[in-house]
Amino acid sequence: MIDVSRPEPAVWLRGLTKKYGPATVVDGLDLEIPRGSTFGLIGPNGAGKSTTLKMMMGMLSIDAGSATVLGVDVSADPTAVKRRVGYVPEIHSIYRWMRVGEVIGFVRSFYPKWNAGLCADLLDLFELDPKKKVKQLSKGMLAKLALLVAVSPEPELLVLDEPMSGLDPIVREEFLDGVLRSMCDSERTVLFSSHTIDDIQRLADTVGLLYQGRLLVHSPVDDLLTRTKRIRAVLHDGVLPRWLPETTIWQRVQRREWLLTVGDFSEDLLPRLRGENSVHDVEVQDLSLEDVFKDYVKGRKGAA
């Protein structure tokens, strides 16, 4: 049960599961995203990111568990969720026969609220011509139109599925600009999926690493960078490591070099590491976010 003294999270997933035949794509996922935060879901292709977002949006059936979005149980009332969430899918299926201006007018008619100022700003920033037919738009223009109609109703939650994959650098920058503008204008919860570190670093305050349908990591981005460290030690001849810190994510011994990545590093760890193992020249290295994620995935593969 959720503590009543706390505001309800924007997204609350409990044991969310999706199976395709024998394959479990999303495997008992538990996730809570507090209101006002920006959550980045990262993971390799096929990790279950898109499937998770689609279940949350009521676009895919849930096989087990539940999803509560803005206090609404998605299975019970998917329409209510769609009305309150701005969603930019990976593949933009906007009414191709309409003109840009018609799409905007049409979408606008579904929502009680519409930020005309933001809509006009984005139209201008994105250089979208209201007279142009949707089917004549490039992939980048289509992505920008999808974002514009998703944020103009000022949704409490914005969900972006791989929003910037396949966009050229200039369009990417404009798209990012649009997302940031809409984030600045009101306190909004944003949930996005991505497979690039750059998006996570720029947008997310909290990150979840999804791998084989499970969350391997769920942490504020800053903590992950400051607390995950790689330790390199040189082993004395003919010995192997005897003691491992509890929060070891991944380790490798090659010749006399012992590498290990720990999830909750503190300086106090080093005397114990030296004391319990026959090592010398212990060195602590900082890791980039990319290395952190790689080590988590390698660690999981090694454990399997």
Partner 1 sequence: MRIDPKSHVPVFRQIVEGLQSAIAAGIYRSGEVLPSVRVLAIDLQVNPNTVQRAYEELERQEVIEARRGVGKFVARNGPRSALGQAEVAVREAFERGVDLACDADLSKTRIRELFNDVLSQQTEASRAQR
Of 149-157, 203-211, 253-261, 271-279, the segment contacting partner 1 by CB under 8 A is 203-211
* 8 A C-beta contact, residue 210 and residue 18: no
* 8 A C-beta contact, residue 148 and residue 122: yes
State the minimum distance, in angstroms, from the CB of residue 166 to partner 1: 18
Answer for which of 180, 239, 244, 253 binds partner 1 (CB under 8 A) is 180
Does 276 contact partner 1 by CB under 8 A?
Answer: no
Of 92-100, 209-217, 265-273, 283-291, the segment contacting partner 1 by CB under 8 A is 283-291
Which tokens go with 17? 């599961």
State the minimum distance, in angstroms, from the CB of residue 147 to partner 1: 15
Q: What is residue 254's three-state secondary structure?
A: strand
Give the list of residues 6+ apart from residue 215 with CB closer than 8 angstroms, or none: 29, 30, 31, 208, 209
State the minimum distance, in angstroms, from the CB of residue 298 to partner 1: 18
Of 69-77, 155-163, 175-183, 211-219, the segment contacting partner 1 by CB under 8 A is 175-183
State the minimum distance, in angstroms, from the CB of residue 227 to partner 1: 11
State the minimum distance, in angstroms, from the CB of residue 184 to partner 1: 4
* 8 A C-beta contact, residue 139 and residue 166: yes
Of 54-62, 176-184, 247-255, 271-279, the segment contacting partner 1 by CB under 8 A is 176-184
DSSP for 73-111, written as a single string: ETTT-HHHHHHHEEEE-SS----TTSBHHHHHHHHHTT-
* CA gap 206, 289 in Å, rounded: 12
Q: Which of 47, 176 has the CB closer to partner 1? A: 176
Which tokens go with 61? 């059936």
Question: Under rule CB under 8 A, which residues in 225-254 are in contact with partner 1?
Answer: 225-226
CA–CA distances in Å: residue 209 to residues 116, 144, 185, 281, 284: 36, 26, 28, 32, 24
State the minimum distance, in angstroms, from the CB of residue 231 to partner 1: 13
State the minimum distance, in angstroms, from the CB of residue 36 to partner 1: 8
Give the list of residues 6+ apart from residue 49 with CB closer than 8 angstroms, or none: 41, 42, 43, 161, 162, 193, 195, 210
Q: Which of 38, 152 has the CB closer to partner 1? A: 38
Answer for which of 287, 294, 298, 300 binds partner 1 (CB under 8 A) is 287
Give the list of residues 6+ apart from residue 56 with CB closer than 8 angstroms, or none: 11, 13, 67, 69, 74, 81, 159
Answer for which of 70, 150, 221, 235 binds partner 1 (CB under 8 A) is 221
Q: Which of 9, 58 has the CB closer to partner 1? A: 9
Give the footprint of partner 1 on this chain (CB under 8 A): 36-38, 173, 176-177, 180-181, 183-184, 197-198, 200-205, 221-222, 225-226, 281, 283, 286-290
